[in-house]
């Protein structure tokens, strides 16, 4: 049950407007007046770069829960905190992100089909806006959003059973949810099948979103959110893990695998508007589970897989030669102009039977 006192719940609903119940979850119903709530950004302004609250919001793609090794169902307690914090999109460009647990994508939740999840969400007291969470793995009103809406400084708890397997997005779902998601409020919940997942050598976790700001791409200074640009679906940045080219050798570094090893890549597209044409330059996806549908047969040897906003993909790749694999959105202007790039490094001996860089 929710731990929000009834008086607090009424205050949150008043702040959000009467459209909250209609908007909780993925619905966009409600009048224009109902949409205008405390979850809306202030009047845009373009100023000098602000001092940052955190050094980075880009999630470490290797920092994910270990595979589940049990054959019984359990009750899993999950605690998450929402934050509004200033960080750099790229050097010299600041923005006030919104996050789950201070990272983009938010912390991966990993459970087994049949588990009961008791989820507690806290809205940090320093925040200015209400937040909540809608998990696509939940068979319940708004995916839990209606019972997790919390004002700054408040906490709510609800419980659900993970009744179906797969990789599913979660995201904030207050009014103007597109603004909150664009600013970083999305992540993945992985529900493993009862028999678990095939063993691999490595697992990595990435997420893509587009960001709409009052400045131009690369323009130094502080960027505020631009609602008009979002309505026109004209983003300033398209980002993997929240910052421009964050998970690359020249930024925070890249995860690595050895020649001969397999890696599983979990990928979530927050959107809020654009599909991702997810492609590994220098390889193919040896297996793809579209929509994160791990209970279905995988597609094999896929060059580029579409991942719609509000969805996920589970992919695997095998390292046969050394060299970087660049993870991109193959709408390539988003890579060259707007920052959608991450890298996985392959290390080991050359395999000239597969690829010979200098046939003499």
* Residue whose tokens read 């990993």: 110
What pLDDT digit, counting tens, does each position of 72-110 carry? 999 999 999 999 999 999 999 999 999 999 999 999 999
Say which residues have a Cβ less than 8 Å from residue 88's Cβ, sequence separation at least 6.
49, 52, 56, 94, 95, 243
Its pTM surpasses 0.85: yes
Q: Measured between alpha carbons, how far is 304 from 223 in angstroms, rounded to an integer?
A: 32
Query: Which pLDDT tens digits describe the chain residue by residue (360 residues)?
Result: 334 444 444 434 444 443 333 344 454 333 333 333 466 665 444 578 899 999 999 999 999 999 999 999 999 999 999 999 999 999 999 999 999 999 999 999 999 999 999 999 999 999 999 999 999 999 999 999 999 999 999 999 999 999 999 999 999 999 999 999 999 999 999 999 999 999 999 999 999 999 999 999 999 999 999 999 999 999 999 999 999 999 999 999 999 999 999 999 999 999 999 999 999 999 999 999 999 999 999 999 999 999 999 999 999 999 999 999 999 999 999 999 999 999 999 999 999 999 999 998
What pLDDT digit, counting tens, does each position of 223-233 carry? 999 999 999 99
The sign of the torsion formed by the CA atoms of 179, 185, 186, 189 equals negative
């Amino acid at each position: 049950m929710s731990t929000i006192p009834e008086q607090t719940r009424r205050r949150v609903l008043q702040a959000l407007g009467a459209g909250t119940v209609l908007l909780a979850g993925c619905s966009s119903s409600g009048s224009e007046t109902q949409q205008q709530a405390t979850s809306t950004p202030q009047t845009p302004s373009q100023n000098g770069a602000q001092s940052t609250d955190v050094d980075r919001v880009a999630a470490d793609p290797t920092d994910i829960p270990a595979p589940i090794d049990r054959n019984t169902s359990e009750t899993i307690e999950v605690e998450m905190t929402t934050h509004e914090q200033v960080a750099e999109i790229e050097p010299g460009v600041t923005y006030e992100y919104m996050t789950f647990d201070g990272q983009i994508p938010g912390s991966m939740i990993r459970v087994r089909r049949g588990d009961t999840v008791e989820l507690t969400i806290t809205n940090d007291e320093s925040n200015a806006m209400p937040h909540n969470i809608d998990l696509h793995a939940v068979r319940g009103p708004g995916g839990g959003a209606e019972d997790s809406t919390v004002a700054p400084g408040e906490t709510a708890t609800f419980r659900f059973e993970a009744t179906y397997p797969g990789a599913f997005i979660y995201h904030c779902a207050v009014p103007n949810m597109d603004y909150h998601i664009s600013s970083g409020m999305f992540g993945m919940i992985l529900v493993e099948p009862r028999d678990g997942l095939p063993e691999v050598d490595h697992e990595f976790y990435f997420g893509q979103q587009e960001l709409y700001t009052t400045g131009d791409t690369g323009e130094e200074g502080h960027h505020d959110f631009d609602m008009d640009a979002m309505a026109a679906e004209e983003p300033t940045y398209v980002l993997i893990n929240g910052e421009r080219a964050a998970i690359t050798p020249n930024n925070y570094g890249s995860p690595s695998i050895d020649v001969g090893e397999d890696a599983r890549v979990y990928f979530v597209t927050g959107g809020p508007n654009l599909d991702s044409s997810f492609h590994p330059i220098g390889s193919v996806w040896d297996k793809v589970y579209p929509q994160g549908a791990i209970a279905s047969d995988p597609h094999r040897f896929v060059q580029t897989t579409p991942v719609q906003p509000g969805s996920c993909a589970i992919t695997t790749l095998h390292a046969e030669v050394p060299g970087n694999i660049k993870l991109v959105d193959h709408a390539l202007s988003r890579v060259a102009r707007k920052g959608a790039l991450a890298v996985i490094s392959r290390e080991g001996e050359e395999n000239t039977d597969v690829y010979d860089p200098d046939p003499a």
